[in-house]
A and B are shown apart, each in its own frame.
Chain A
Amino acid sequence: ETGVTQSPTHLIKTRGQQVTLRCSSQSGHNTVSWYQQALGQGPQFIFQYYREEENGRGNFPPRFSGLQFPNYSSELNVNALELDDSALYLCAIRGWNEQFFGPGTRLTVL
């Protein structure tokens, strides 16, 4: 059991604001990925961190940034929020040949 947790569960922000989403796990997996899942769509890869360094990125602008900490917890930061940023944000830790997903944070931008 990897026990991937995300906080907060739900979040409401207004356009132009900044938001920080958090992800942690009980296990010591050193690779974490973040995904954006818009309503009715599949998850879209945002970026991946390995040992505190970003080592892969999808087609997302620089206002999407992240951090990974020595304890392998991670943050996703989004600046200058836009209405289209409203989505479910998932983090996943990479185990052996699979990924374990957290329950997600539902972000609504008004």
Chain B
Amino acid sequence: AQTVTQSQPEMSVQEAETVTLSCTYDTSESDYYLFWYKQPPSRQMILVIRQEAYKQQNATENRFSVNFQKAAKSFSLKISDSQLGDAAMYFCAYRDNNDMRFGAGTRLTVKP
């Protein structure tokens, strides 16, 4: 079964600094998608960034970028120029045709 592991239960970053959240996954599939979702206290799950496994180029969305290492099955999220509004739970997620799995999450605190 596919598993998603986030090894950092909590992370902290100073405002305007950069932070990297880690994620590893396990799968035997070759075609899949990876996601990072943000869940603020409002509970709404918000998509941050998406990566298709067949694409070698790392996805980037403004201040958010990923380091996708397919062979190592690693998918980390880098947040640059951190803002107070970035504080939330961040979930790494894997999806193929039949399944979608989430990691346990990383709580990100942003210090002013």
Contacts and interface: CB of A to CB of B under 8 A. Distances in A.
B84 interface: no
A43 B50 contact: no
Given A90-B45, A103-B42, A43 B35 contact: no
Contact of B100 (A88, A99, A100): A99
B47 A45 contact: no
Interface residues of B, number: 23
Given A98-B35, A98-B47, A45 B42 contact: no
Contacts of A92: 45
Contacts of B52: 97
Task: Tell me if A's interface is mostly helix, strand, loop or mixed.
Answer: strand
Contact of B101 (A45, A99, A100): A45
Contact of B50 (A41, A45, A97, A104): A97
Interface in A89-110: 90, 92, 97-101, 103-104, 106
Contacts of A43: 45, 91, 102
Interface of A: 33, 35, 40-45, 56, 58, 88, 90, 92, 97-101, 103-104, 106
